[in-house]
């Protein structure tokens, strides 16, 4: 009964996020206040259903919902929506929801596809450090996703104010092409391909062995996602690149501030996430750090956002420079979070299950 309720609630969540995505995009196009209010209302309802689904998952499985791809993606999208709603309330950046909310919808949709029901925890995950470490890491990723959305709209707004409309189209095409490529590869690796899970008997490291058919599925998913992203990016860019559209976006100062604040909150959280992960690793594997691919890329993520804060606070970088860094950062975050699990073998490869 609990499982059924969880599944129903998560389906409601995904459908509500889909509806909210459409309303937020319509709000951005039409500048309708009622559309914006409806979008926020739908998003709050979706977040409530999302929260209840996670609670039911926790009750049914007996552990924090952070042990496999479905659960971690569900928590990731939950964090994105939660922090976006907080920022929308504080900074009145409802227009940014046209990017942030569809991103959360895509992540939640892929989570729904990957849901195979609760499974027993592998020995390495049977610890109270699971919910401490993973929840902090997921919340930091939610902040970085919000910084990405604000940074992207900063770039778009700057080009609109300068009447560089062709650059607006290019910006949307690049962003949606990258997202489309990522989603396509993600589906290829996580849904369509069925690799063999190889475990090294000595090191206990997991690795995936892909057949030629699996490789074709992965490449096909990437190509399809890339083409769809380019087409959608062209259409979105054409719709945004017209006089008067800049008035529908927050000011450059507000977008810059939101991006900075999101990273300023996310950076200490990812720092704590790495520290708690090291403590957990010592308890699970007998060492704090082993240069496992997930650990290495977590460090790269930490260094990247540390460089963002350093250039801003020490060198005075603001505006476009900071926005570009915030946008590029999400690529590193997603590779750390997902790419490592599917592309690189290591002690954390069970997370791709």
Between 198 and 233, residue with greater pLDDT: 233
In a domain, 48, yes or no: yes
Confirm whether 82 is domain-assigned.
yes
> Looking at the predicted structure, is the pLDDT value of residue 43 above 90?
yes
What digits encode the pLDDT tens for the residues 275-334? 988 888 887 777 777 788 888 899 999 999 999 999 998 888 888 889 999 999 988 998
> Using an 8 Å Cβ cutoff, are 152 and 175 in contact?
yes
Q: Is residue 341 part of a domain?
A: no
CA distance 84 to 142: 9
**Mean pLDDT within 140-147:** 88
For residue 346, the 8-state DSSP code is B
Distances (CA, A) of 28 to 36, 57, 95, 131, 174: 8, 35, 6, 37, 20
Residue 134 and residue 136: Cα distance in Å, rounded? 5
Most trustworthy range by pLDDT among 64-68, 161-165, 276-280: 161-165
Question: Which residue in this structure is represented by tokens 């945004």?
Answer: 240
- For residue 199, the SS3 value is strand
CATH of the domain at 110: 1.20.120
Token readout for 237 is 């860019």
In a domain, 51, yes or no: yes
Residue 66 lies in a domain: yes
Q: Average model confidence (pLDDT) for the chain?
A: 84
Residue 170 is assigned to a structural domain of this protein:
no
Structure tokens, 306: 């540390």
Kindly report, residue by residue over 178-226, the tens digit of the pLDDT.
888 878 887 787 677 777 766 666 655 656 677 888 888 888 988 998 9
Dihedral in degrees, nearest 10, Cα atoms 72, 136, 258, 163 = -30
Q: How many domains does the chain have?
A: 1
In a domain, 15, yes or no: yes
pTM for this model (two decimals)? 0.79
Domain of 112 in residue numbering reads as 1-116
CB 289 within 8 A of CB 243: no
Residue 291, Ramachandran bin (φ over 0: left; ψ between -120 and 50: alpha; else beta)? left
pLDDT at 348 over 60: no
Determine, yes or no, domain membership for 101.
yes
């Amino acid at each position: 009964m609990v499982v059924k309720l969880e599944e129903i609630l998560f389906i409601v969540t995904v459908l509500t996020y889909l509806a909210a995505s459409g309303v937020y995009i319509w709000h951005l196009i039409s500048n309708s206040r009622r559309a914006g209010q409806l979008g926020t209302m739908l998003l709050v309802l979706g977040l409530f259903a999302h929260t209840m689904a996670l609670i039911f998952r926790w009750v049914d499985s007996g552990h924090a919902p952070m042990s496999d791809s479905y659960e971690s993606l569900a928590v990731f999208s939950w964090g994105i929506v939660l922090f976006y709603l907080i920022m929308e309330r504080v900074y009145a950046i409802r227009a940014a929801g046209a990017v942030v909310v569809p991103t959360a919808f895509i992540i939640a949709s892929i989570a729904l596809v990957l849901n195979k029901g609760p499974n027993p925890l592998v020995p390495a995950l049977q610890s109270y450090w699971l919910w401490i470490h993973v929840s902090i890491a997921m919340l930091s990723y939610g902040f970085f996703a919000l910084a990405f959305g604000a940074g992207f709209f900063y770039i778009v707004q700057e080009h609109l104010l300068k009447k560089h409309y062709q650059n607006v189209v290019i910006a949307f095409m690049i962003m949606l092409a990258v997202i489309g490529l990522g989603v396509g590869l993600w589906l290829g690796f996580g849904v369509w391909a069925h690799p063999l899970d190889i475990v090294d008997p000595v090191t206990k490291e997991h690795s995936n062995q892909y057949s030629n058919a699996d490789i074709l599925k992965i490449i096909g998913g990437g190509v399809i996602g890339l083409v769809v992203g380019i087409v959608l990016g062209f259409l979105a860019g054409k719709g945004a690149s017209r006089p008067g559209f800049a008035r529908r976006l927050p000011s450059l100062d507000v977008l810059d501030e939101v991006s900075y604040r999101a990273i300023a909150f996310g950076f200490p959280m990812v720092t704590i996430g790495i520290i708690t992960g090291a403590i957990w690793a010592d308890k699970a594997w007998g060492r704090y750090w082993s240069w496992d691919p997930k650990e290495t890329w977590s460090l790269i993520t930490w260094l990247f956002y540390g460089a963002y804060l350093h250039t801003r606070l020490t060198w005075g970088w603001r505006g476009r420079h900071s926005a570009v860094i915030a946008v590029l950062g999400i690529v590193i975050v997603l590779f750390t979070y997902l790419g490592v699990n599917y592309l690189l073998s290591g002690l954390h490869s069970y997370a791709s299950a």
